[in-house]
Amino acid sequence: MKIIVGLGNPGPNYVRTRHNVGFSLLNCLASDLGVHFSINKRFGAEVAQSSRNNTSLILLKPMTYMNLSGDPVSKALNFYKVTANNTLVVYDDLDLEEGKVRYKEKGGHGGHNGMRSIIAQLGTSDFPRLKIGVGRPMRTPEVTDHDKESSVTDWLLKPVDRTAYEDLISSTTADVFDRIDFFLKQ
């Protein structure tokens, strides 16, 4: 059994935000597998079960805010008795060009609060992750450190134009599915 976690923030205000690409891509995978998510109160997450490439699969979307994602992930791993190295986390990455997809076997949190929380709760950073590039906002010379921080927050948390968001998700889906299949063969 393997677990695939998609990171995002719950609620309608975050549906088309860059920070929610993990949720959106997990929704695409669930649709492809013909399964639906249901709330699991024990974990504080939406969960779907299926199989792909002869591997039992749990899809997990933590329903906490991003920086508390580690608790639902840890609870699910303990409940299903799945190790960290059999868990793939799908999330947004500011440092990757928009639409780029990068698979890594392990690594640090890279400043991502959801990953920071998961690493802290699991006590390890030795688990695969799938980074989805969302790029960074445009920089101008007159931007102060405070402005830069708030512009990054806005970039991640403000809804994106529907067409642009759908283009981002559709342009990465095939790549994401290929890398998920690679993970499942490990």
Residues annotated as catalytic are 19
Distances (CA, A) of 101 to 49, 75, 86, 95, 109: 24, 27, 19, 11, 16
C-alpha span between 102 and 44 (Å, rounded): 28
Two structure tokens written together for 182: 């690679």
Two structure tokens written together for 158: 């403000």
Task: Provide CB contacts within 8 A for 52, sequence distance 6+.
Answer: 33, 180, 181, 184
The torsion region of residue 107 among left (phi > 0), alpha (psi -120 to 50) and beta comes to left
Q: Are strands 2-6 and 45-52 parallel, antiparallel or unpaired?
A: unpaired
